[in-house]
Amino acid sequence: MRLALCGSGVVCATLLLELGIRLTWDQRQGVPGLVLGHPTRVELLAPNYRGYFAGQPLRTNNLGFRDNRDYELRKRPGVFRIVVLGDSVTFGHGCRFEETWPYLLEQSLARWRPEVAWQVWNLGVPGYDTTLELRTLQELGPSYQPDLVIVGFHENDVSAWGYHSKAAMPLWLYDLKWWLKRHFYLYTTLRFAYYRLKHQRVEKETSAAYEQQLLAKPAQVIAPYDLERMDLKHRDPHAPRPPSPSVPYEPDAAGMAACRLAVDGFKRLHREGRYPIVFFINIAPDRRGADDSFANGVHNAMNRVFLEWLSDPTPAVSAYDAFWTYHPSEVPDAGEHSLGPANVVKADVLFTFLRERLMTGPAKERAA
């Protein structure tokens, strides 16, 4: 009898807690169930999700990546499909879908060659590193059949995440965790609390940590930017260019070693002709204290190191130089979770690079 009473009490308390959390939940934070556990990619986005993320509306499509449009997997004649891999910067943390740089790139391509059915698929997932991005391409590439792969590369990709050696859990445990996350807000709340205690010193956050951020802070919907009227000052041939680096860049040794393994994997796929691959470096100049100007800091040397490293044999391009033309206030959070205006610059730099250097030879034939 006592055991039954205790069990009933636990069930009632759990249901009351669940009800209380649901009644006080800020729906702008989104609902649980955005991410699914995965044995090789740790976590991925659930298909057909509707909610909010970082104060912005979020939808995932039928294939499970961020897009307001559904797609058929079969590639029809006339389609040029670009798969974009990356982390939260590529995903568009804090941005509307229409303000993400992959979407803006697609719009530029469509204006340039409207006769081509351009598809730019944003497979960015918050918390991913280069290892998980490589696994994504290895697993989805054969069915997605991309004509071009763009790897969004950020400075925190050079971090010791340990994903390259992470052991997989049993499949039934992934299914159980997904069911709990999807149906119990209490589970999500406890999961975030546990994460805060265990990983409070971790610099690079997983997608669970990004979810936790949304739970901890009130969501604020950011007004859309008027991107159509933005003055693209970096196109000016007389625009200022960055000086020679004055601060050296010394990457984390363990992080660099793990990242190098994944980068080598991308380069191998490119060299073997499996997929044409381009690295797109998503960093910006250091800000000069509280001033509205950029400074010659560590990111200058970092940009040069990344370009030299990633450019052989894969093409690589960076938006770093272009940001020197602007004030930080004109390109908000350019080196972090870049917002609309900064993403316009990124998309334009990448579009110009693709148009001038890559849309020739095999890539041009695919777009013909």
CATH number for the domain spanning 245: value is 3.40.50.1110
pLDDT of residue 314: 96
If one compares 113 and 255, the residue with the highest pLDDT of the two is 113
Is the CB of residue 255 less than 8 Å from the CB of residue 159?
Answer: yes
Does the residue 314 lie in any domain? yes
pLDDT of residue 360: 58
Show Cβ contacts of residue 121 under 8 Å, excluding neighbours closer than 6 positions. 63, 65, 67, 71, 81, 82, 83, 84, 102, 144, 146
Does the residue 187 lie in any domain? yes
Average pLDDT over residues 198-216: 47
Does the residue 10 lie in any domain? no
Domain count, the chain: 1
E strands of 130-181, at which residues? 148-153
Does the residue 118 lie in any domain? yes
At 52, the pLDDT band (50, 70, 90 cuts) reads confident
Average pLDDT over residues 253-265: 92
Residue with token string 């004109």: 330
Does the residue 13 lie in any domain? no
Q: What is the largest CA-CA distance in the chain?
A: 84
Instruction: Give per-residue pLDDT as tens, 261-282.
Output: 999 999 999 999 999 999 999 9
How far apart are the C-alpha atoms of 15 and 65, rounded to whole Å? 33
How far apart are the C-alpha atoms of 288 and 302, rounded to whole Å? 17
- Please state, as a whole number, how many other Cβ atoms lie within 10 Å of the Cβ of residue 266: 24
Does the residue 224 lie in any domain? yes
What is the separation of C-alpha 108 from the centre of its chain, rounded to a whole number of angstroms?
A: 20
At 202, the pLDDT band (50, 70, 90 cuts) reads very low
If one compares 356 and 204, the residue with the highest pLDDT of the two is 356
Q: What does the mean pLDDT of the chain come to?
A: 84
Does the residue 12 lie in any domain? no
pLDDT at 169 exceeding the cut of 80: no
How far apart are the C-alpha atoms of 41 and 65, rounded to whole Å? 14
Packing angle of the helix pair 171-183, 185-198 (nearest 10 deg)? 110
Average pLDDT over residues 342-359: 92
How far, in Å, are 35, 276, 362 from residue 158 at the CA level?
Answer: 24, 23, 31
Does the residue 28 lie in any domain? yes
Structural domain including 94 reads 21-66+77-367
